[in-house]
Chains A and B, each alone.
Chain A
Amino acid sequence: MNQSISEDWNLIIEPKKSLFQLNLRDVWIYRDLWALLVKRDVVSFYKQTILGPIWFFIQPIFTTVIYTFIFGKLAGISTDELPQPLFYMVGITAWNYFAACFTKTASIFKDNEGLWGKVYFPRLVMPLSTITSNLVSFGVQVLLIILMMIYYFSIGTRFPLNAGILLLPIFTLLMALLGLGLGLIITALTTTYRDLIFLIQFGVQLLMYVTPIIYPLSSVPPKYHFIIECNPMTHIIEGFRYAFLGKGACSLFSISYTTILTFVILGIGLILFNKAERTFVDTI
């Protein structure tokens, strides 16, 4: 019975952790789970649909066609002198990825109620694997953009390729983290406000209209510029177009602004999520 007082315990379970104790090390220990969850998402997506990977193409192609017709031809909205389908395709691809990260993370508590009530693993692994698995459809769509660019190149359109293309991974990462951060904030709030989840689809749609997807930032009247430019997604979308097509607003300032804002949002998201995570299972 005389065990030493300074016994080295592997785990100490206590009522309250500090708000800022995010257990990122635990996430790293569970990195295999992260990878397998990504595989699960991709494989089950393949198996559940008859058309399989073709789905990755159909949705953006149809959207592009419809946008080209309605916003391009009927409404005649400027596309910065770029071929209309390409202009929309780039915006849609980037936006789809952001929206998927955001909405999937926003419902992460709801989607995992059953699982999380029965087993412990660092909860953050789940949203992280979601944003990773969404990279697959994003990647496929980027491939589609490249194919379209080759086509336009062959019919004589010239794109001023530039060093901006090197920024693509950074923009993608920012998008993922921004979607993750916003999603974490919302999902933490849904543990108190269950109906919030219904607002998300709608909210994302509205947000799309204050992001230059169907119009370039350059066509926005100057008095509205400020509002549109507050939206961090504006800079990411414009940066994307700049990287691929050489047209779009991209400056050191816009990139720094977006980066800082993204990390602030992500930080808030992580803290709220961490707090909600602890009592979530008691309220299922």
Chain B
Amino acid sequence: MSKIAIKAENISKTYRLGEIGTGTISRDLERFWKVKIQGKEDPFLKINSHHTQHKDQNQIVHSLKDINFEIYQGEAIGIIGRNGAGKSTLLKILSRITAPTTGVIKIKGRLAALLEVGTGFHPELTGRENIYLNGTILGMRKAEITQKFDEIVDFSGVEKYIDTPVKRYSSGMYVRLAFAVAAYLEPEILVVDEVLAVGDAEFQKKCMGKMNDVSRLEGRTILFVSHNMAAISNLTSKSLVLEQGNILFYGETNKAIYAYQSLSKNKLSYLSTKKESDNIPFIKKVSVITSEGTALHQHGATLKIVFEIYAPTKIPKAAISFQIFNEMQIPCVQLWYFGTNQPFLTQKGLHILTCTIPKLRLYQGHYTLKVYFAQFGGDTFEILSEICPFEVSMLNQKRDFPWQAGACTYLEDSEWNIENG
């Protein structure tokens, strides 16, 4: 049996929303003056005190709840879960950026974390200078970098610009250089958050290849967070599924992905738990009306998406938009309504907004919605992720060969002409 690389015992993390005290010295002084010296009521106390107690409980976010796991040396572990499940929090604790609220993590070997690509890059410095700076920020010694310098530059593919300030780089080059530094960190344990979502396809492939080498050939331990199930299943053999701060499943990746996907499978519509008495604008309900009336939709048929929105007052410039994501968490469609032709949410109350897609061209597969509710150029009220899952089927389409899963994202109308010469 191989040795343990990471052992986490009873890890939890709670965040307090809002500050202790009022957050500014002038307000604390004012409060002190009013309450202690003049004997007036605390001007910053919430008005109904029975409400404050309720508020206080809401102000604590349990981001991780009593988590236990063990990771063996040389394993590649995927970490999956919906937005806000606690994935990044777990990585931040592992990388010592923030301390856990309870519990202990024991680590064997040097651990390096890559939560963001290009952390600490300085725009005025050249590529060369940034390689050194970024490398040392990530925990390398200078001599180590000098030794690997040529390989890093080679991997990044930006040799020509190595002595140019990085502010003149295209964003793609920037990411390449940054990832190249991280790729040559060579720690015993590498922890990576969703950093590969950037860069072009070719480079992403290169990164995945590098990560694969790191785990398979070099036998290092990798923890990898992603919403991209294809990447997770390629790279890892075991995965950890987080759901609202708990471990839902920890084991074989195939089963983990299944567990993760079935999380959201059985809810065709989204229903908010918020109440109108909370006096905030919110999306009360989102439903997808498919051609089959179940979670199944025929390719090419009309799809309707209905939003029920509650507004406590008139909201000028209200805007709603949504994306349709496929199984690989790639957004395939984005549509929006900014009320340009006919404003909505013009008065207090419930409003119903229906979006009709006359001919849905999405390829067969499983899809979910991500909905944004905001004020154009102002506040974002709500973002709902991975809601209303539905499946598109192409059984009604004429086909010359079996449809391949993931062959494309949508079908285009087309005409073919033949000219015989």
Contact = CB atoms under 8 A, between A and B. Distances in A.
Same complex: yes
B99 A48 contact: no
Contact of A193 (B25, B100, B140): B25
Interface residues of B, number: 52
A162 interface: no
A219 B12 CA distance: 62
A119 B104 contact: no
B108 A9 contact: yes
A44 interface: yes
Interface stretch (A28-36, A90-98, A207-215, A230-238): A28-36
Contacts of B129: 39-40, 43
Contacts of B142: 32, 35-36
A115 B119 contact: yes
Given A7-B106, A12-B106, A40-B122, A193 B28 contact: yes
Contact of B103 (A15, A48, A193): A15
A19 to B, nearest CB: 14
Given A32-B142, A40-B133, A115-B119, A13 B23 contact: no
Nearest to A41: B122
Contacts, number: 122
Given A1-B1, A15-B100, A193-B23, A43 B105 contact: no
A195 B25 contact: yes
B20 A13 contact: no
Q: How large is the interface on A (under 10, 10 to 19, 20 to 34, 35 or more residues)?
A: 35 or more
Nearest to A39: B129
A205 to B, nearest CB: 18
Given A43-B124, A44-B124, A119-B120, A278 B137 contact: no
A282 to B, nearest CB: 6
A155 B98 CA distance: 62
A201 B392 CA distance: 62
Contacts of A1: 1
Contacts of B125: 40, 43-44
B365 interface: no
A118 B191 CA distance: 12
Contacts of B25: 193, 195-196, 199
Contact of A10 (B15, B19, B102, B108): B108
Given A193-B28, A195-B26, A48 B124 contact: yes
B19 A14 contact: no
Contacts of B23: 192-194
B133 A37 contact: yes
A56 interface: no
B101 A119 contact: no
Given A40-B129, A120-B96, A9 B107 contact: yes
A115 B120 contact: yes
A40 B113 CA distance: 23
Contacts of A120: 95-97, 113
A187 to B, nearest CB: 14
Residue picked from A7, A36, A115, A278, most chain B C-beta under 10 Å:
A36
Nearest to A192: B21
20 contacts: A11-B107, A11-B111, A12-B104, A13-B99, A13-B104, A14-B104, A15-B99, A30-B136, A32-B141, A33-B136, A40-B125, A44-B125, A47-B124, A47-B165, A118-B116, A119-B119, A120-B97, A120-B113, A121-B139, A192-B21
Given A13-B93, A15-B100, 4 more contacts: A15-B101, A15-B103, A116-B97, A118-B119
